[in-house]
Structure 1
Amino acid sequence: MRRLPVLPLGSPFQLLLLACSFALAAYAGVQLLAGDWLSVALWFVGAALLHDLVLLPLYALADRAVVRGLEAGGRREWAMYVRVPAALSGLLLLVWFPLISGMVDRRYRSATALPPDGFLTRWLLITAVLFGASALLLALRVRRATKRRPPAVH
């Protein structure tokens, strides 16, 4: 007699947590689409198309240029020290673009009673710190690697 395969479902607590997360996501979806569902659907489709047709080729091309530039110097493994801060900086730009670009200054001021000034400056500072920290980490790792390397025998 053949046994039925056992499904890896997890513990009852995990299943309850998963069911609660699905219920919360369904509630959020219903609330989001309750108003102007067509605008929300168009925004999602537009965001997917913008990402897939414009942004993805741009950052893939930029990554390829960085990797090729580092390969020419024999330092391909250094690419992650550029990729990580660039990805974090790009994510911050994507999230805060309306405020960084100044497109929603009046709306931000009326909603929060705070001045919308300084978002561009802060984003640039955060980007500089990310790249600076990455460069410092790379320098420390290169220094540690050169200390461990035995001296060359002539």
Structure 2
Amino acid sequence: MRRPRPAVGSPLQLLLLACSFALTAYAGLRLLDGDRFGIALWFVGAAVLHDLVLVPLYGAADQALLRGFEAAGGRRWVSYVRVPAALSLLLLLVWFPLISGRVADRYAFATGLSADGFPARWLLITAVLFGGSAVVFVLRRRREATHADQG
């Protein structure tokens, strides 16, 4: 008869798990030290906005992208648009307060730095992401064409 395996593999894993919970509890207490209602409202609002508004928009945009690539005859190439778009939108989501300039004064007061360059930097990063993806796309298409001519 086999003995059941323990849920935690080793004492080191248990120690690391306990440390991660302690760190999370500390971060949560520090975060909620200020405006608890505002932070709770922000978390709930972010969850509702993401689940009820953004996820359907992501899905609709992805379906439109897939239909467009199917019409062009290459559904396997959709990742060359999907990956840079997802990374760019993630950066926009994370840095939106600074990109939009809504918290520029507070950022300058807290850090002593100007928030003026954030929109231009985000656009530059987006251009680099899409440009890099386009370069990889062209190189792979060229390699496939070369292999098709040889074989």
The two structures have a TM-score, normalised by structure 2, of 0.92
User: Judging changes above 3 Å, is the alpha-carbon distance between structure 1 residues 118 and 65 closer, same or farther for their aligned structure 2 residues?
Assistant: same
- Distance in structure 2 (CA, Å) of the matches to 1:108 and 1:34: 20
Query: RMSD between aligned alpha carbons?
Result: 1.7
Aligned to 1:110: 109
Counterpart of 1:143 in structure 2 is: 142
Match of residue 10 from structure 2? 11
User: What is the number of residues matched between the two proteins?
Assistant: 151
CA distance in 2, matches of 1:51, 1:22: 26
Counterpart amino acid of residue 134 in structure 2: A
Q: Deviations over 1:60-83 (max 9, x none)?
A: 111111111000111000111111
Q: CA deviation at 1:141?
A: 1.0
Say which is worse superposed, 135-144 or 28-37, in terms of deviation. 28-37
Return the letter of the residue paired with 2:62. D
Structure 1: gaps (5+ residues)? none
The Cα of 1:8 is off from its aligned counterpart by 4.5
In the alignment, which residue of structure 2 is the partner of 1:121? 120
Q: Which moved more, 1:47-56 or 1:113-122?
A: 113-122
State how far apart, in whole Å, the 1-side matches of 2:54 and 2:115 are: 26
Deviations 1:20-64 (A, max 9, x none): 011110111122223332222211110000001111111211111
Instruction: State how 1:17-36 maps to structure 2 within 5 Å.
Output: 17-36=16-35
Distance in structure 1 (CA, Å) of the matches to 2:31 and 2:99: 25
Amino acid at match of 1:12: P
* Structure 2: 5+ residue stretches without partners: none
- Identify which range, 130-139 or 22-31, moves more after superposition: 22-31
Are positions 1:77 and 2:70 aligned together? Answer: no
Deviates more, 1:107-116 or 1:47-56: 107-116
Aligned counterparts of 1:106 and 1:76: Cα–Cα separation in 2: 45
